[in-house]
């Protein structure tokens, strides 16, 4: 497999030459399946805790081929499940703890990159979510108020009126914005490729172009085994870190739904343009619509912009042709030019790929000491920071099994999401959610009031 044709991969300064494939049998302490952020952060953190551990990473293409090399580059404290649900299910103390860990991890991830000399263009400017209608403004202001009532500090999340928001950034039609300082912007491919080099320098064996066909749990006296077409690995523990591609493994088709998120990138914009629209501290941005969009200002002054809208494919199918959807690309460009009417030049890059969405939207980090199998993933698009947190949690679970740490006491550690429904119910449900989000935005934009679709969408996501 070749790296995806994205802006991020096109800007790598060194050619991506695949590492050697696994072509024999080896024995290690920990085998990690998946060479993305989760797998590589786990390997790095394991080596930091116990340098003598024998660790192997298996990647079916090249490290970063999946969501880790294609995403929007938001190092955020966002979590795909609401604070209200976390508080209801786990209590306010664990909600506060999770919030603190995620916020601190935004900064710690940047410190880790600096200590490893990985230049991933990390810029911690915070994030802005703009209101471009009265309905969006009301919804966002209510969310800020609710967050403050649940313990979020006024400096951690605030409402900016129209003029205050413009001091940081401006989208056409903005009526104000929420602002959180707990977000940074990175270059995804430089991060993942740099992290793979660091892991290799620490002594981690990385095998690329090594697709895993089967993971066999521990049985009596036989260690867990990972099998590829040309080789195999026995390990004390196997970590499955395959995110959206989990559905391609035997028996895992209903574990997560592979949802496609697509992106575009503009030509580099002039200093006059950026003087007009702001984002001088490289704040990430979105708005208050139901169908998610996200953007960032790159180091070379482009806008990298993405969003949902591509359909879920029957049977959790993943194919390379799904990475491209001309209708969605066209809608993304239309939206980008609406947000920035003075944007100049052509769209230079278009790309996409799958991310993993659990049935309850809850990420998870799990370990079964009896079978020797550990897992992490299900980030639903919030995986840049969550993968760093998951890697630390897995490293603690593997090296300190009897000790509770700040990472292992997080609510999503040892959480097991229920399986997705069988087809065609899975296809109907996921695409119904997509249609409801589109309908809700359409009604709000055209008629200026909330539609029944928005309330139906909330009920569907519960």
- DSSP E strands, 151-276: 158-161, 176-180, 183-185, 205-207, 214-216, 225-227, 232-240, 257-266
Domain span at residue 452 reads 423-462
Q: Within a domain: residue 124?
A: no
Q: Within a domain: residue 238?
A: no
pLDDT digits (tens, 9 = 90+) for 150-204: 999 999 999 999 999 999 999 999 999 999 999 999 999 999 999 999 999 999 9
Confidence of residue 299 (pLDDT cuts 50, 70, 90): very high
Give the Cα separation of 159 and 145 in Å (integer).
Answer: 9
Mean pLDDT of 70-79: 97
Specify the pLDDT at position 451.
61
Specify the 3-state DSSP secondary structure of 452.
Answer: helix
At which residue do the structure tokens 């200093």 appear?
A: 271
Specify the pLDDT at position 5.
74
Q: Within a domain: residue 439?
A: yes
Give the Cα separation of 130 and 201 in Å (integer).
Answer: 42
Mean pLDDT of 91-110: 98
pLDDT digits (tens, 9 = 90+) for 423-448: 999 999 999 998 988 888 877 777 66
Specify the pLDDT at position 454.
54
Given a contact cutoff of 8 angstroms between Cβ atoms, the answer to whether 212 and 22 are in contact is no
Given a contact cutoff of 8 angstroms between Cβ atoms, the answer to whether 350 and 264 are in contact is yes
Specify the pLDDT at position 54.
98
Confidence of residue 457 (pLDDT cuts 50, 70, 90): very low
Mean pLDDT of 313-331: 95
Q: Which H/E stretch holds residue 130? A: strand 127-131
pLDDT digits (tens, 9 = 90+) for 255-284: 999 999 999 999 999 999 999 999 999 999
Confidence of residue 300 (pLDDT cuts 50, 70, 90): very high
Q: Within a domain: residue 357?
A: no
Q: Within a domain: residue 118?
A: no
Least confident window among 173-182, 239-248, 298-307, 428-437: 428-437
Give the Cα separation of 428 and 446 in Å (integer).
Answer: 26
- Is 0.85 surpassed by the pTM of this model? yes
Q: Is 117 exposed, middle or buried (0-12, 13-18, 19+ CB in 10 A)?
A: exposed
Q: Within a domain: residue 48?
A: no
Number of folded domains that form the chain: 1
pLDDT digits (tens, 9 = 90+) for 187-197: 999 999 999 99
Give the Cα separation of 29 and 31 in Å (integer).
Answer: 7
- DSSP E strands, 338-402: 347-357, 364-368, 373-377
> How many other CB atoms are found less than 10 A from the CB of residue 291?
18
Give the Cα separation of 190 and 242 in Å (integer).
Answer: 20
Confidence of residue 220 (pLDDT cuts 50, 70, 90): confident
Q: Within a domain: residue 29?
A: no
Classify each residue of 161-191 as buried b or exposed e, where b means 16 or more C-beta atoms within 10 Å of its C-beta: eeeebbebbbbeebbbbbbbbbbbbbbbbbb
Q: Within a domain: residue 436?
A: yes
Helices (H), 150-296: 162-166, 188-201, 271-277
Mean pLDDT of 414-426: 96
Give the Cα separation of 154 and 191 in Å (integer).
Answer: 31
**Distant-in-sequence, close-in-space partners of 94: CB < 8 Å, separation ≥ 6:** 86, 409, 410, 411
Give the Cα separation of 389 and 408 in Å (integer).
Answer: 10
**Distant-in-sequence, close-in-space partners of 142: CB < 8 Å, separation ≥ 6:** none
Angle at 72 between CA 157 and CA 431, to 5 degrees: 95
Specify the pLDDT at position 190.
98
* Angle in degrees, 0-180, between the axes of helices 83-90 and 92-115, rounded to the nearest 10: 120
Please report the sign of the dihedral spanned by the C-alpha atoms of residue 167, residue 168, residue 170, residue 176.
negative
Specify the pLDDT at position 4.
67
Give the Cα separation of 454 and 436 in Å (integer).
Answer: 7
């Amino acid at each position: 497999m070749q790296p995806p044709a994205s802006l991020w991969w096109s800007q790598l300064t060194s050619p991506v030459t695949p590492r050697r494939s696994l072509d024999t049998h080896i024995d290690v302490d920990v085998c990690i399946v998946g060479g993305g952020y989760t797998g590589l952060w786990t390997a790095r953190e394991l080596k930091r805790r116990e340098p003598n551990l024998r660790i192997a990473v298996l990647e079916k293409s090249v490290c970063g081929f999946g969501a880790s090399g294609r995403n929007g580059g938001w190092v955020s404290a966002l979590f795909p499940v609401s604070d209200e649900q976390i508080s209801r299910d786990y209590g306010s103390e664990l909600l506060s703890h999770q919030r603190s860990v995620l916020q601190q991890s935004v900064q710690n991830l940047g410190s880790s990159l600096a200590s490893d000399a990985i230049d991933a263009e990390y810029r911690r400017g915070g994030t802005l979510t703009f209101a471009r209608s009265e309905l969006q403004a009301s919804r966002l202001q209510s969310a800020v108020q609710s967050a403050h009532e649940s313990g979020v500090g006024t400096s951690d999340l605030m409402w900016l009126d129209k003029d205050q928001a413009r001091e940081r950034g401006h989208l056409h039609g903005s009526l104000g914005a929420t602002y959180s300082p707990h977000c940074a912007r990175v270059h995804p491919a430089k991060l993942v490729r740099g992290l793979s080099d660091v892991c290799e320098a620490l002594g981690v064996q990385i095998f690329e172009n090594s697709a895993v066909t089967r993971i066999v749990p521990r049985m009596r006296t036989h260690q867990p085994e990972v099998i590829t077409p040309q080789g195999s690995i026995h390990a004390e523990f196997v970590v499955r870190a395959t995110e959206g591609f989990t559905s391609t493994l035997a028996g895992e088709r209903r574990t997560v739904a592979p949802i496609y998120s697509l992106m575009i990138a503009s030509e580099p914009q002039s200093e006059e343009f950026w003087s007009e629209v702001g984002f001088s501290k490289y704040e990430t941005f979105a708005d208050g619509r139901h169908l998610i969009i996200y953007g960032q200002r790159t180091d070379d002054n482009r806008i990298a912009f993405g969003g949902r809208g591509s359909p879920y494919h029957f049977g959790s199918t993943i194919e390379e042709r799904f990475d491209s959807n001309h209708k969605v690309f066209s809608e993304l460009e239309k939206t980008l030019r609406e947000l920035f009417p003075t944007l100049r030049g052509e769209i230079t890059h278009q790309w996409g790929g799958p991310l993993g969405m659990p049935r309850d939207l809850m990420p998870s980090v799990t370990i079964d000491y009896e079978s020797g199998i550990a897992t992490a993933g299900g980030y639903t698009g919030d995986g840049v920071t969550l993968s760093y947190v998951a890697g630390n949690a897995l490293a603690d679970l593997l090296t300190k099994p009897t000790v509770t740490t700040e990472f292992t006491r997080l609510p999503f550690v040892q959480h097991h999401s229920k399986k997705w429904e069988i087809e065609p119910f899975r296809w109907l449900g996921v695409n119904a959610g997509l249609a409801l989000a589109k309908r809700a935005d359409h009604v709000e934009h055209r008629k200026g009031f909330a539609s029944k679709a928005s309330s139906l969408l909330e009920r569907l996501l519960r």
